[in-house]
Amino acid sequence: MENSIFCIKKLFDQIKLQYTEPYLKEKLLTHPEPDSLLAISDTLAEYKVESLALQLGEDKLDQLPLPCVVQISQNPYPYFTCLSQVTEDWVEYLDEKGKLIKVSRKEFVTQWTGATLVVEKGEHSGEPGYTKRRKEQLIYQSLLILTGAVGLASIIGDLIGLDYNTSFSFGAISLFILKLAGLGISAILLWSEVDKNNAAITQFCSGGESVDCNSVIDSFSIGGLISLGNVAFSYFAASTTLLLVSSFSSSALGLLALLSYFSLAIIPFSLYYQGVKLKKWCRLCLWISGILVLELAVSHFLLPDLAWPKLGELPTFSFIFLASVLAWISLKPYLIAQKELYTTKSKLAKVLSNKELFDYFLSTSRQITFNPEGLGIFLKGPKAKYHVLKVCNPYCGPCARTHPLLEQLYEAGNIDLQIVFVPGGGDEIRIKTIRHLMGIASKSNIEQTRRALDDWYLPEQKDYDVFAAKYPLNGELAKQESNIQAMLVWAEKEKISHTPTIFINGYELPSAYGVEDLKYVLQ
């Protein structure tokens, strides 16, 4: 699945299409078949990027519009990648780890299965809601940068305030750097417990049969609950925090020097456990052992004659250590669940995309009693197999969210789309909005009607006056009273209790399905 993410990201970069990674991952990884070419094609459709799947031979390689998606045959499984350049002698594409590589044309042809997806960026291509999502990202990143800057300023202030001899200052700074390095490496250890298949960690921790970080990490824990990574991270987190809180006091450094002697006892056990018992080595664990040795050396040679720890410093260290252990124990299940969420959604989507199952549930659902023909707005699909009726309120948030999903189905030609409006409260502004939308549709200009629906439903803020100024009407508004009354009467007879209410071929959409699931079954 990571190959497909690398592929689409490179593709978007090449065609200069803006995107946010969380949205891209959500669309691709929750697809019923996330490793397939169909998943890539459907994800591109979410961005309104046209695509066409082809099976080609070597003779068509020079004619391919670039960039495009190709399938590479490689053990144990083939993967999809982004082909970016083709010349007479070489070809450029992403390897299975997302790295851009150049290989000879002859070598590429032997690996290329011929499966190809050509793409075309259109005038309206883009990520739905990109502006809002990107704004949120920028605010979050700004807060992170600000927090880091304030923290860095505080650390620099503490380091500048060291007025002891040169050896003491150098030793304190060296110890702090080692603590930060240990904190970073142990954080990677913790993350490997959550994301065991992370490409970067796997690549770093691989090196023959005797190197396997996951085997070492999974083989030992305290009481089956506290992992080695948790202990290491909590130790470095407590040490770093104590240094900052105490402003690198001699007594705090003294406590950490004593603890470095005790922590040294872990190293022989770690080496014996990995080399003799497991016969597997964890590079991250070895790095942690190396940092512990360096800490002892710094404390012994660069920080002699330190003060004894103050009465409250050991409890402070212990509190931070235990709090970090408990925090990870509490946080880890949530992070694992988040990591598995895409897989769970993908499996659910696979069930919900089963056509026979959908048809069964649909046939047992509530059926329309009174004929809605002639009501509301009707958009005829060129090759529609399904009739979708949406009962909605122009000021309903969920109705607005379903609009682009149904519009996508209509644009693909899969459905006839009928929209029946109910005011949902009956106040004048809602009635005026319905009257205006109906008036636009009465001109029988389908493209204008679709644009008007987009201009109404897609903006977050609904402003009737702005909308009415953009789509001025004359006598069409006065002719809509009977249509509005007919929709109200029909909705009352059908006992429409909420919006949006969706009907497929006369049957209400089963409660187990959302509108977003229809793209998999209405094909």
Q: What stretch of H or E contains 200?
A: helix 199-204
10 Å CB burial of residue 163 (0-12, 13-18, 19+) is exposed
Please give the Cα distance from 98 to 26 (Å, whole number): 19
pLDDT band at 207 (very low <50, low <70, confident <90, very high): low
Of the chain, the percentage scoring pLDDT greater than 90 comes to 41
What integer best gives the mean pLDDT of the chain?
Answer: 87
Please give the Cα distance from 214 to 285 (Å, whole number): 11
pLDDT mean over 373-396? 90
Supply the pLDDT for residue 322. Answer: 95
Please give the Cα distance from 477 to 437 (Å, whole number): 9
Supply the pLDDT for residue 173. Answer: 85
Could you give the count of Cα atoms lying within 13 Å of 467 in the half-sphere of its Cβ? Answer: 25
Q: Look at residue 481 and tell me whether its pLDDT is greater than 70.
A: yes
Supply the pLDDT for residue 128. Answer: 86
SS3 53: strand
* Contact status, residue 278 vs residue 222, Cβ threshold 8 Å: no
Is the alpha carbon torsion for 453, 454, 457, 459 positive or negative? negative
Q: Look at residue 43 and tell me whether its pLDDT is greater than 60.
A: yes
Which domains does the chain carry? 1-121 (3.90.70.10), 162-337 (1.20.1440), 366-521 (3.40.30.10)
Supply the pLDDT for residue 180. Answer: 92
Low-confidence winner among 58-62, 197-201, 256-260 (lowest mean pLDDT): 197-201
Supply the pLDDT for residue 208. Answer: 65
Q: Look at residue 164 and tell me whether its pLDDT is greater than 60.
A: no
Condensed to tens digits (0 to 9), the pLDDT of residues 389-446 reads: 999 999 988 999 999 889 988 988 889 999 999 886 667 888 899 999 999 999 889 9
pLDDT mean over 111-135? 90
SS3 149: helix
44 to each of 12, 68, 80, 290, 457, how far by Cα in Å?
9, 12, 14, 47, 22
Q: Look at residue 346 and tell me whether its pLDDT is greater than 90.
A: no
The residues with which 69 forms a beta bridge, in sequence order, are 82, 117
* Contact status, residue 438 vs residue 423, Cβ threshold 8 Å: no
pLDDT band at 344 (very low <50, low <70, confident <90, very high): confident
pLDDT band at 1 (very low <50, low <70, confident <90, very high): low
pLDDT band at 165 (very low <50, low <70, confident <90, very high): low
Supply the pLDDT for residue 160. Answer: 65
pLDDT mean over 63-78? 87
Supply the pLDDT for residue 184. Answer: 92
Condensed to tens digits (0 to 9), the pLDDT of residues 262-274 reads: 888 888 888 888 8
Condensed to tens digits (0 to 9), the pLDDT of residues 495-514 reads: 998 889 999 999 999 988 98
Q: Quick one: CA torsion of 158, 160, 162, 168, rounded to 10 degrees?
A: 110
Low-confidence winner among 115-124, 148-157, 345-354, 401-410 (lowest mean pLDDT): 148-157
Low-confidence winner among 74-78, 174-178, 238-242, 373-377 (lowest mean pLDDT): 74-78
Please give the Cα distance from 409 to 112 (Å, whole number): 33
Q: Look at residue 153 and tell me whether its pLDDT is greater than 60.
A: yes
pLDDT mean over 4-14? 92
433 to each of 234, 345, 453, 478, 492, how far by Cα in Å?
59, 37, 11, 13, 20
Would you give the end-to-end CA distance of the chain in angstroms?
A: 24
* Contact status, residue 296 vs residue 261, Cβ threshold 8 Å: yes
Residue type, 379: L
Could you give the count of Cα atoms lying within 13 Å of 31 in the half-sphere of its Cβ? Answer: 23
Supply the pLDDT for residue 412. Answer: 82
The two structure tokens encoding residue 105: 């044309």
Q: Look at residue 151 and tell me whether its pLDDT is greater than 80.
A: no
* Contact status, residue 118 vs residue 65, Cβ threshold 8 Å: yes
The two structure tokens encoding residue 82: 């982004």
Q: Look at residue 156 and tell me whether its pLDDT is greater than 90.
A: no
Supply the pLDDT for residue 215. Answer: 80
Supply the pLDDT for residue 490. Answer: 93
Q: Which is higher by pLDDT, 238 or 477?
A: 238
Q: What stretch of H or E contains 418?
A: strand 415-421
Supply the pLDDT for residue 141. Answer: 87
**Which phi-psi region, left, alpha or beta, contains residue 481 (left: φ > 0; alpha: ψ -120 to 50)?**
alpha
pLDDT mean over 356-360? 91
Please give the Cα distance from 64 to 419 (Å, whole number): 41
- 3-class secondary structure per residue, 215-233: HHHHHCEECCCEEHHHHHH
Q: Which is higher by pLDDT, 316 or 162?
A: 316
The residues with which 502 forms a beta bridge, in sequence order, are 390
Supply the pLDDT for residue 283. Answer: 85
